[in-house]
Structure 1
Amino acid sequence: MDDKMIEISFGIIGFAGDAKGLAFEAIREAKQGNIEKARELIAESKEGIHKAHKFQTELIQSEASGNKTEMSVILVHAQDHLMNAMNFQQLAEEFIDLYERLESK
């Protein structure tokens, strides 16, 4: 695995991990009734996912141009992090909506 692939993989892992952490923090804030803060954290989380997705897009564009992507455990791990973070973020938004609804009753 070359240095560029390692950089891309760890870029995805780092940004996706941060995004998941922010989404988890957003749920905690919503649970405490801080809905506005929770929505701010989800917005930050989405920025992190966007940054991670840029790294992934770089891989896709490279492969579409005919450059075969060498698969490695690190790259698979990075993709796993990204997908888990995206799913967790979506669930966090649902939790925030639910807590907001409970607060309004």
Structure 2
Amino acid sequence: MTIQANAIAVESPLEDLEETVMELIINAGESRSCAMQALYAAKAGKWDEVDGLLAESTAAAKRAHVVQTQLIGADEGTGKVPVNLIMVHAQDHIMTSMLARELIEELIEVHRKLQAKD
């Protein structure tokens, strides 16, 4: 199984598990970071930047999700993928970045409506 995330091809998510998990963490972090930048841009009324940053956030989240899905597939529900602290850490990053992005999108809409009233 070949996965491609951030233009890095890995023959199997289990082949270099540490590198694969780092890809999860990097992409989840990028997703959250871009979403936060979009919120700061919205607060400043820089609406031309907001949509681009949200699109970057979504793209990074999709890259993380692709890797995560392939790890789940490689595991086949049989425990083939070892669960260690770094794997748990990666999952935490994915989940918190997803939640942050969802909440940030809502906050951006609030800022959009408030600024439209002014």
Q: TM-score by structure 2 length?
A: 0.82
Structure 1, unaligned runs of 5 or more: none
Aligned residues: 104
Q: Which structure ranks higher in relative contact order (CA pairs < 8 Å, sequence separation ≥ 6)?
A: 1
- Residue deviations 1:27-81 (CA, integer Å, cap 9, x gap): 0000011223112101100000000111101111111275611011000000000
- Give the residue type in structure 1 aligned to 2:39: I
% of aligned pairs identical? 34
Structure 1 segment 17-56 matched on structure 2, within 5 A: 17-56=29-68
Counterpart of 1:104 in 2: which secondary structure? helix
Structure 1 segment 86-101 matched on structure 2, within 5 A: 86-101=98-113
In structure 2, C-alpha distance between the alignment counterparts of 1:78 and 1:34, rounded to whole Å: 32
RMSD: 1.5
Q: List structure 1 runs of 4+ shifted beyond 2 angstroms.
A: none
Aligned partner of 1:15 in structure 2 is: 27
In structure 2, C-alpha distance between the alignment counterparts of 1:4 and 1:102, rounded to whole Å: 48
Aligned partner of 1:76 in structure 2 is: 88
Structure 2, unaligned runs of 5 or more: 1-13
In structure 1, C-alpha distance between the alignment counterparts of 2:52 and 2:19, rounded to whole Å: 29
